[in-house]
Amino acid sequence: MKNDCIGDEFMYKVLVVDDSAFMRQLIKSILESTGKFVVTVAQTPLIALDRVRKFKFDVITIDYEMPYMNGVELIKKIKEITDTKILMISAYTRPGAYTTFEALSAGAFDYILKPSSEEELEEFKYELIKKLTAVCEECKKEDTSKVHELPAAVEGKILLEESIVERVRLARVIGIGISTGGPPVLERMFKSLKKDFPIPILVVQHMPPNFTKPFADRLATITSKCIKEVSDKEEIKGGCIYIAKGGYHLAVEEMNGKLFTRVLDLEKIKSHKPSADILFSSIAEACGRASVGIVMTGMGSDGSDGILEMRKKGALTIAQDEKSCVVFGMPKAAIEKGAIELVLNPDQIVELLNRV
């Protein structure tokens, strides 16, 4: 049976659900101007559900504030009908952040912020095209069953070799770089991580400034673990998970034998701030072989240079496998650089960590 992700031979099919005529037309014009997408619109959730029952779409964009039912409720109903990828259109506010995480938990693969200025409109256009193109291309690869040919000896290694577990056990810190599709994956992983896990974890999840604290608060609530948005010059303690602050880079620094966080207001790296490259590079410098680096689902190549530095210092380096990624860009880039020792899915990663 043909994968729902695939449109016709040349164009991807998109359903835009928004009660604002302006936003419907804006998204439609942006996408159709690329020549890659053919767009159908729906001004209410009820019309959207009717469209979904009658037609196959590669991806659906959904606004949160709509009549009859909100965006999260609509996502849940769509997921009962089809596994089509869904992008949430979110408000750039703290309440908007909380609803966005509900949408991601309900099944949206990612989100994009509504523009409120000319400058933000340009960013909106860029992000919209980039995210929809990336997820459609990933789905097309799944449908044709073409798996990337990757360097040998990274996939299929025995997960629970005692020597691998021992290297994790000796780590002073674990760094994770993750982007598109990340929040639900981190939620599941941290829920499954054992309560007394002793090694601190530092996470770069690509997010805007207003979103990282609500994200950390949400993770802390649903996992009952020590999870917080990071502060500058904070001593890194075992058993805690630190989420990088949106709009700033996160680094690790050693002082007097102890590890501390650094929150840095520097230029974007590979269009990202925070950047996984900054985190991984600082871990390589501060901890050397006594560390673990994990690069996970996301577009682009952020993290690939930093995690290569970690591997050169003897750290254990892990990439998420292609099958479980929403977008395989970041892990693929790291693997192709020769930076990765193990390729695992999120459940295997947690299984490894729980052996410590």
Element (H, E) at 95: helix 94-106
Which CATH number, 3.40.50.2000, 1.10.1740.10, 3.40.50.180, 3.40.50.720, labels domain 162-354?
Answer: 3.40.50.180
Residue range(s) of every CATH 3.40.50.180 domain in the chain: 162-354
Residue 92 confidence (pLDDT): 61
- Report the alpha-carbon distance of residue 42 to residue 109 in Å, rounded: 20
Residue 131 has φ and ψ, to the nearest 5°, of -70, -40
Provide CB contacts within 8 A for 119, sequence distance 6+. none
The H helix count followed by the E strand count for the chain is 12, 14
Element (H, E) at 167: helix 162-169
Element (H, E) at 49: helix 45-54
**Residue 272 DSSP symbol:** B
CATH number for the region 12-144 comes to: 3.40.50.2300
Provide CB contacts within 8 A for 277, sequence distance 6+. 177, 269, 270, 302, 303, 304, 305, 306
The alpha helices in 224-327, defined as continuous H runs, are 276-287, 304-312
Mean pLDDT of 1-5: 41
Comparing 155 with 338, the larger pLDDT belongs to 338
C-alpha dihedral (137, 142, 143, 148), degrees to nearest 10: 80
- Report the alpha-carbon distance of residue 356 to residue 351 in Å, rounded: 9
Cβ pair 229, 212 in contact under 8 A? yes
Residue 65 confidence (pLDDT): 85
Residue range(s) of every CATH 3.40.50.2300 domain in the chain: 12-144
Q: What is the pLDDT of residues 262-320, one digit of tens each?
A: 999 999 999 999 999 999 999 999 999 999 999 999 999 999 999 999 999 999 999 99
What does the angle CA 186 – CA 199 – CA 243 come to, to the nearest 5 degrees?
40
- Report the alpha-carbon distance of residue 302 to residue 329 in Å, rounded: 9
- Report the alpha-carbon distance of residue 122 to residue 171 in Å, rounded: 42
- Report the alpha-carbon distance of residue 28 to residue 125 in Å, rounded: 11
Q: What is the pLDDT of residues 168-185, one digit of tens each?
A: 999 999 999 999 999 999
Residue the block writes with tokens 């501060």: 286
Q: Percentage of the chain with pLDDT > 90?
A: 81
Element (H, E) at 13: strand 12-17
Q: What is the pLDDT of residues 186-243, one digit of tens each?
A: 999 999 999 999 999 999 999 998 899 999 999 999 999 999 999 999 999 999 999 9
- Report the alpha-carbon distance of residue 270 to residue 61 in Å, rounded: 26
Cβ pair 352, 168 in contact under 8 A? yes
Catalytic residues: 179, 206, 302
Residue 122 confidence (pLDDT): 92
- Report the alpha-carbon distance of residue 22 to residue 33 in Å, rounded: 16
Q: Where does residue 213 rank: exposed (0-12), middle (13-18), buried (19+ CB within 10 A)?
A: middle
Mean pLDDT of 30-38: 96
Stated pTM of the model: 0.88
- Report the alpha-carbon distance of residue 276 to residue 206 in Å, rounded: 9
Residue 230 has φ and ψ, to the nearest 5°, of -70, 150
Element (H, E) at 254: strand 249-255
- Report the alpha-carbon distance of residue 205 to residue 195 in Å, rounded: 22
Residue the block writes with tokens 């996470």: 203
- Report the alpha-carbon distance of residue 352 to residue 319 in Å, rounded: 13
